[in-house]
Structure formats: structure tokens, C-alpha cells
Amino acid sequence: MDAGKALFTAITLIFTCKAQAELSASNGGLGVYDSHLNVIWTQDANLLNTLENSNGYSATINAIITAVPTIYDTPNVYDNGGNGVYNLSVGDFIAGGKVDWWAAQAFVSYLNLENYAGIHSWVLPSADTACAGNYCTNSQMGEVYYNEEGGLAGRGYFSNVQAYGYWSSNQNASDSGSAWDFFTQHGLQYYDAKSFDFYALAVSGQVTTAPVPGAVWLFGTGLLGLPGLMKRRNRR
């Protein structure tokens, strides 16, 4: 092997190892640690549906609504009286894990109350509101989709990734009745009405130290043993 080829191979290996090292299983397998963004994602990219299947749809949704009955946002036409207060109902959820934007917010708040995976700082991922379309890598989902091996495109570290839209935490500044989202089937970031039904993937926010894996993270959650079943109409 000549010197040039050897150097190219070494550089390739360095960048390959770096990419592979950016994501790793954490928190007893319930999370994915992203060392590039220094955050933890829920490993299950359709966790709400998993909980619905395990505990019953009706009981799961009712538990979320009981724990987080109200979402506060920028006043818009969908709010109760347009005053920035939105009261949740079963109509904000669809069996299978789809939710409107308010229900997505309620779901991540519920994960915090339940201390899911030993974490109580879950949020919806942030968007790059200066970028609409493909290759918006300054958004959290754009970064893990485009730049990290085993991420949302390769799905190596995540389970149950849906080829559809996922909500972000960001409202649309020019239209408070809409919010930003990210589509995993083609890597597109855009915004849609908050009433649309997409999926919710939670991220922990910044962590100060690398997470310690272990079964201890399985304890302290109240997400088990919920019965029931209910369906709703898809608004889209």
C-alpha cells in the first residue's frame, strides 16, 4: 500500500469511528446517548404506541391527560378562546402513536412526571427555524438523521422509527397555529398546523456527563399495568 492510500485509509477509519461513536445505547437500553449533541433520545421512536400496546390505549391516553390536562402556547385559533390555553382531550390522540402538537407536548411532560429511563428533562427536539426543506442539520433531528451513523436514517440504534412526520418543540413564529416538524422518510423539515397528526420522539436536553447504563433505569416509572382500549378519528 502506498503512502497516499495508507493516509486515506487512516483518515477514513478515523471518521468512521467518530461517526459510530456519536451514538450509543444508554439508560438500560431505554435511551440512545448522542455524544455529538450531548443529549439522550428515547430509544423507541414510537414509544407512545409501545405504551398503548402494553398498557391499553384508553388507559395510557387518560393517564397522560390526567397528568397534563393543559398546554400553554402562543395564542392561536385552536386554543380555547384563542388565549394561549389548550385543554387536551382524547381527540388529540390517535391509536398507533400519532398525536397533534399539544398531545406531543403533553406526552413528553408525562415522561418527565414518570421519570422515564431515570430522566425528568424530556422535551420535543428543537428545529432550525431558519431552514425549511432538506439538509437542515442545525435541527436536532436533522443532525441525527444526516450526520450520525446508526441514527434516524440508518435506524441502527433506534427502534420503531416511523417513515412519517415527527413534531419539534418550536412553534412557527409567523403563524402561531402551526409548529415545525421533521419527516424521517426523506429528511425534510417544515411546519404544519398544530392540529395535524404526527409522531413524538423525546430528547433529554443537554446532559453534563455520559450516561451510566444499567437496569437501575427501569425502576421508578409508573408506566406499567394500565388497561383499556379506545380509538379516535384521524384529522388528516
For the cut 80, the answer to whether the pLDDT of residue 155 exceeds it is no
The CA distance from 185 to 209, in Å, is: 32
pTM for the model: 0.82
d(CA 181, CA 166): 5
**Mean pLDDT score, 177-192:** 97
DSSP 124: P
State the maximum Cα–Cα separation within the chain, in Å, rounded to a whole number: 72
At 206 the pLDDT is 67
With bands split at pLDDT 50, 70 and 90, how would you rate the model's confidence at 2? low
pLDDT for position 19: 44
Q: What percent of the chain has pLDDT over 70?
A: 78
Q: pLDDT tens digits for 36-72?
A: 899 999 999 999 999 999 999 999 999 999 999 999 9
Sheet strands (E) in 129-226: 133-134, 165-172, 175-183, 188-193, 203-206
Residue 112 pLDDT greater than 60, yes or no: yes
In this predicted structure, the answer to whether residue 6 has a pLDDT above a threshold of 50 is no
Determine the average pLDDT of the residues in 87-93. 97
Contacts of 185 (CB under 8 A, 6+ apart): 163, 164
How many other C-beta atoms can be found within 10 angstroms of the C-beta atom of residue 116? 25
Does residue 9 carry a pLDDT above 80?
Answer: no
User: C-alpha grid cell for residue 28?
Assistant: 438500560
Predicted pLDDT at 152: 84
- The C-alpha angle with vertex 115 and arms to 125 and 153, in degrees rounded to 5, equals 35
**Model confidence at 1: pLDDT above 70:** no
Q: What percent of the chain has pLDDT over 90?
A: 71
